[in-house]
Chain A
C-alpha cells in the first residue's frame, strides 16, 4: 500500500538532505525527548505540585499497561506491519481474567499463564494467516479486533468486578523507594518488558531480522533470513504483550469489561510513531516508544491538572502531535521515498 501511493506523489523536499541518515532517523526521537522535558518544565511552572518525582512515577503507574502494549506494537510496526487488534486483545484479557478468577473461582496463578498463552496464540494465528495467504496485516488484524471484542461480549456483557483477595492484594501493593516514593507492581513488570524488548531488538539475531524485514522484505528473504517465522513471531509478541497489558489493566481497574481499552490500538500506534519509529518499518527505537507513552501520559496529566480542560482535548492534542510527527518523518525521510 505504501509503495503504491508514495509512488504517485512528488518527492517531498528534504531540508536536511545533507545530514547523515543515521542522525536523521534520530531527529524525531530527539524532538520527543525535548517535548517531554519542555512539557514537564511548563507544567512545573504553571501548576503547583507538578514538580515532584511522584508525578513522574504516577505517569508510569497510570500508563504501565499502555507501555507494554506499545512495546508489542513497536515490534509489528518495525516489520512494516500494523496490529489493530491490540485494544480488543487487552479487553479480552481483562474479561477472561475477571471471569476465570471471579465466576469460575480459578486461582490467579493458573489464570495468568492461560491468558498469556491465549494472547500469544491468537497473535501467532494472525501472523500465520498474514504470512501464508499474503493478506494485508491491516485486514487480518481488523478481523482479530472484531473477534476479540465480540468474544468479550459472549463471555460477559457487563463489567465483572474482582474481589478475589490475592488479586486485590497484588493490585494494591505499593513498592516504596527512598523519600516515600512508590510504584505499583505493574510498573515493575512494564519496565522489565521494556528492558527485555530493548535487549531482544538490539542484541539478538531475532531483533536484527525484525529490522531487516521492515527495511526490505525481498532483500531479507534473499539473504536467507527466516522471513515467515519472524513475521509470525512478531505478531505473537504483539499478542503476548497485549495479553500482558490486559493483565496489568485488570490489576489497575480491578475489573474486566468489554468496553475497557477502547481505542487503545490507536494510542499504542501513536506512542510508537511519536517515539520515532517509521510506520513503513525498518527504523525505530523501543526506548522511543517509552518516551511516546510518557508524552501521551503527560498530555493526560496536563488535562487533569488544568481542571477546566475537557477530556476530549487529550484526543485532539494526540491527533495534532501525530500529524506533526508523521510530517516530520516524511520531511526527514529516514529512508528514501518508496518511488525512489
Chain B
C-alpha cells in the first residue's frame, strides 16, 4: 500500500490483507466513480434533511439502486450454482402488473389490507414462476440459460395480458410506501433492501446453506456423491431469485405508481448479471460474495447517475456497460491473467483459496 519497504508490523499486515481482499477492486471502482462525480458536481456528497426526509445524490443512488440490488442478490445465488436467471425482468413486470392490477380494481385501494393482499399475490405467483424455472433446471436438466429464456420470452406477454396492454396507474398511499416512501427519515426501499440483504447474508454465511450452494456450483457431481440434495437446492435458488425480482417489481411500480408490462424491469436481468460479475462472483459458479454484489449494484447505479450528471445521452450508458463487462470478465479470466502476468514477468502466482481454484479442478464424473 505504501512506498516504504514492507516491515513486519501491523500496518504492513493490514495492507497485505486489504490488498488481497476480494472486495478491494469493487470498492475502489465505486469510490473512483463517486469522486469522479464530485469533479463535475461539487455538492455531490452533500446530504440534507428536508421535511424529515434525507435528500441528496447519494440517497438517490441508494434508492434507485435498491431494486437492482435485490434482483442481483437473487441472481448471485443462482450464479453461485453455475446457473443464470434470464427471467427476472419478466418476473419484475409480472409482479408489478399483478399488484397494481389488484389494487386498481379493488374497492378500497388505499387500505393496508388491499396492499398486503396485492403483495402476497405478487409474491405467490413469483414462487410459482421460480419453481417452474427450478423444476426445468433441476428436474429435467435443461440448461439454466435456456430454461429461463422461456419465461423471459413469454413473461412480458403475460404481464401485458394482465394489464390488458395498458399502463395501470394506482393511487394508494400504503403501496407508494414500498418504493417511494420514507420511514425514520430513510427511504423505505433502501431499508427493505438492506434488511433482505442482511437476512440473506446471515442465512447463507451463518448456516451451512451458503457452503452447500457453493459446493453444488463448484462440482455438481461430487456434491451429489457426498450426499447433498442438489435438486432441491437448485429449485430453491430459482424460487429465491424470483421472489427477489418480485419485491423489486413492487418497488419499481410503487415508485412510479404504475405498472407497465412492456417496460417495467426491462433489461434489469442484464444489469443484475453485470452487478454480480463486477462484484467478483464468477460465472463459473462455486463461490459467491453478497457484499460484492451490493457494491456491484451500486457501481452500476452510480454509472447510470454519472452519465446523467455528465449530460451525455443516457442511451450511451450501454456502451460504458459493455466496456465494463469486457474488462471485468477479462480480469476474471484465468487464461487472461496467466498471459498478462507472464508478460509482466511475475512468476509468483497469487495465493488462491480452494474455492478460487475450483474452476480449474478436474470434474468428478458420476
Nearest CB to that of A131 among chain B residues?
B335
Q: Is the CB of B270 within 8 A of A316?
A: no
Contact of B151 among A151, A269, A319 (CB under 8 A): A319
**Cβ contacts A69-88/B at 8 Å (1 or 0 each):** 00000000000001000000
C-alpha gap A139/B277 in the complex (Å): 10
Q: Is the CB of B335 within 8 A of A132?
A: yes
Q: Looking at A4, A82, A154, A339, which has the most chain B CB atoms within 10 Å of its CB?
A: A4
Cβ–Cβ < 8 Å partners of B234 in chain A: 5, 8
**Cβ contacts A307-325/B at 8 Å (1 or 0 each):** 0001111111011101100
Nearest CB to that of B262 among chain A residues?
A312
C-alpha gap A269/B86 in the complex (Å): 14
Cβ–Cβ < 8 Å partners of A318 in chain B: 153-154
In the assembled complex, A191 has its CB within 8 A of some CB on chain B:
no
Q: Is the CB of A144 within 8 A of B149?
A: no
Q: Is the CB of A135 within 8 A of B154?
A: no
In the assembled complex, A16 has its CB within 8 A of some CB on chain B:
no
Cβ–Cβ < 8 Å partners of B315 in chain A: 150, 153-154, 157, 258
Cβ–Cβ < 8 Å partners of A133 in chain B: 329-330, 333, 335-336
Nearest CB to that of B132 among chain A residues?
A323
Q: Is the CB of B317 within 8 A of A150?
A: yes
Q: Is the CB of B150 within 8 A of A7?
A: no
Cβ–Cβ < 8 Å partners of A315 in chain B: 153-154, 156-157, 160
In the assembled complex, A327 has its CB within 8 A of some CB on chain B:
yes
Cβ–Cβ < 8 Å partners of A149 in chain B: 318
B86 CB to nearest A CB, Å: 9
In the assembled complex, B23 has its CB within 8 A of some CB on chain A:
no
Question: With A8-B234, A340-B365 as given contacts, are A330 and B142 in contact (CB-CB < 8 Å)?
Answer: yes
Nearest CB to that of B233 among chain A residues?
A8
Cβ–Cβ < 8 Å partners of B161 in chain A: 310, 312-313, 316
Residue total for B at the interface (Cβ-Cβ under 8 A): 66
Binds A, one of B27-35, B77-85, B100-108, B343-351: B77-85
Nearest CB to that of B221 among chain A residues?
A7
**Cβ contacts B201-229/A at 8 Å (1 or 0 each):** 00000000000000011001101100000
Q: Is the CB of A1 within 8 A of B336?
A: no
Q: Is the CB of A150 within 8 A of B140?
A: no
C-alpha gap A269/B217 in the complex (Å): 26
Q: Is the CB of A319 within 8 A of B318?
A: no
Nearest CB to that of A265 among chain B residues?
B149
Binds A, one of B53-61, B250-258, B320-328: B320-328
Question: With A7-B220, A140-B329 as given contacts, are A134 and B335 in contact (CB-CB < 8 Å)?
Answer: yes
Cβ–Cβ < 8 Å partners of B140 in chain A: 9, 12, 327, 330
C-alpha gap A326/B366 in the complex (Å): 25
**Cβ contacts A112-136/B at 8 Å (1 or 0 each):** 0000000000000000010011111
Q: Is the CB of B322 within 8 A of A146?
A: yes
Nearest CB to that of B164 among chain A residues?
A310
C-alpha gap A237/B155 in the complex (Å): 30
Contact of A129 among B145, B221, B313, B326 (CB under 8 A): B326
Q: Is the CB of B82 within 8 A of A4?
A: yes
In the assembled complex, A215 has its CB within 8 A of some CB on chain B:
no
Q: Is the CB of A266 within 8 A of B149?
A: yes
Nearest CB to that of B326 among chain A residues?
A143
C-alpha gap A140/B365 in the complex (Å): 28
C-alpha gap A83/B330 in the complex (Å): 18
C-alpha gap A141/B363 in the complex (Å): 26
Contacting residues of chain B (275-309) with chain A, CB-CB under 8 angstroms? 277, 283-285
Q: Is the CB of A316 within 8 A of B154?
A: yes
B219 CB to nearest A CB, Å: 8
In the assembled complex, B165 has its CB within 8 A of some CB on chain A:
yes
B235 CB to nearest A CB, Å: 11
Cβ–Cβ < 8 Å partners of B320 in chain A: 150
Q: Is the CB of B142 within 8 A of A153?
A: no
Cβ–Cβ < 8 Å partners of B326 in chain A: 129, 140, 143
Q: Is the CB of B151 within 8 A of A5?
A: no
Cβ–Cβ < 8 Å partners of A143 in chain B: 321-323, 325-326, 329
Q: Is the CB of A326 within 8 A of B319?
A: no
Nearest CB to that of B269 among chain A residues?
A142
Question: With A326-B147, A330-B141 as given contacts, are A8 and B220 in contact (CB-CB < 8 Å)?
Answer: yes
Q: Looking at B138, B277, B322, B330, which has the most chain A CB atoms within 10 Å of its CB?
A: B322
Cβ–Cβ < 8 Å partners of B153 in chain A: 263, 266, 270, 315, 318-319, 322
Contacting residues of chain B (139-181) with chain A, CB-CB under 8 angstroms? 139-147, 149-158, 160-161, 165
**Cβ contacts B337-362/A at 8 Å (1 or 0 each):** 00000000000000000000000000
Q: Is the CB of A322 within 8 A of B270?
A: no
In the assembled complex, A181 has its CB within 8 A of some CB on chain B:
no
B133 CB to nearest A CB, Å: 11
Q: Is the CB of B155 within 8 A of A326?
A: no
Question: With A8-B234, A146-B322 as given contacts, are A153 and B313 in contact (CB-CB < 8 Å)?
Answer: yes
C-alpha gap A279/B144 in the complex (Å): 11
B323 CB to nearest A CB, Å: 8
Q: Is the CB of A142 within 8 A of B270?
A: yes
C-alpha gap A315/B149 in the complex (Å): 12
Contact of A8 among B138, B155, B321 (CB under 8 A): B138
Nearest CB to that of A269 among chain B residues?
B149
Nearest CB to that of B147 among chain A residues?
A326
In the assembled complex, A2 has its CB within 8 A of some CB on chain B:
yes
B109 CB to nearest A CB, Å: 25
Nearest CB to that of B143 among chain A residues?
A2
C-alpha gap A310/B273 in the complex (Å): 32
Q: Is the CB of A9 within 8 A of B84?
A: no
Known: A4-B220, A136-B283, A310-B161. 17 other contacts (CB 8 A): A4-B217, A6-B141, A8-B224, A10-B139, A129-B330, A140-B329, A144-B322, A154-B316, A279-B146, A312-B160, A312-B261, A314-B157, A315-B153, A315-B156, A322-B154, A326-B136, A339-B365
- Pairs A-B, 7 closest by C-beta atoms: A319-B154, A150-B318, A315-B157, A153-B315, A9-B141, A150-B319, A8-B230
CB-defined A-B contacts under 8 Å, sample of 15:
A5-B234, A133-B330, A134-B334, A139-B329, A146-B322, A147-B322, A150-B320, A150-B321, A266-B152, A312-B156, A319-B153, A322-B149, A326-B142, A330-B140, A339-B141
